[in-house]
Amino acid sequence: MLIEAATDVLGKFPLEGSSGAGCVASALITKEHGEVFTGICLDMHCGIGFCAEHAAIAEMLKHREKVIDMIVAISPSRILTPCGRCRELMVQVSRENFKTQVIIGPTEIVLLEDLLPMHWKQTCEPEIQVPN
């Protein structure tokens, strides 16, 4: 279902110059309401673009949800593993997203926490005070 939803929005859309959008698409389903949200990447000059997962997460947040049950990112030729920035974004949105199921292959799913071993949010003690 998520791969099909991402495929529906996938497609190269030329922008100014050699920039483009849509060469990567993402779809996620939320834990609380089971809603599906999609997004496409913006591949811009000077690094000001963003990943498809970021766009899907922004759509999710507009609907006041923050816990992702499952997510996928795809290109025209394959399923992609989320980059480090996307992995970190999911955890920054909610610690519960450590348990997000990430589709990384046609028949392979892993938990986000397995893609973020020894993550600082899992290993830090928020109640510890650092001396001045």
- pLDDT digits 0-9 by tens, 70-128: 999 999 999 999 999 999 999 999 999 999 999 999 999 999 999 998 777 766 655 55
Domain count within the chain: 1
Q: Is 130 part of a structural domain of the chain?
A: no
pLDDT at 37: 98
pLDDT-based confidence at residue 131 (cuts at 50, 70, 90): low
Question: pLDDT exceeding 90 applies to what percent of the chain?
Answer: 74
Q: Is 38 part of a structural domain of the chain?
A: yes
Q: Is 112 part of a structural domain of the chain?
A: yes
Q: Is 32 part of a structural domain of the chain?
A: yes
Q: Is 128 part of a structural domain of the chain?
A: no
* pTM for this model (two decimals): 0.87
Range(s) of the domain holding residue 25 = 2-123
Mean pLDDT of the chain: 91
How is the chain classified by DSSP, letter by letter?
-HHHHHHHH---EE-STT-EEEEEEEEEEETTT--EEEEEEEE-GGG--B-HHHHHHHHHHHTT---EEEEEEE-SS-EEPPPHHHHHHHHHH-GGGGG-EEEEETTEEEEHHHHSTT-HHHH--TTPPPP-
Q: Is 68 part of a structural domain of the chain?
A: yes
Q: Is 9 part of a structural domain of the chain?
A: yes
| 65: CATH | 3.40.140.10
Q: Is 132 part of a structural domain of the chain?
A: no
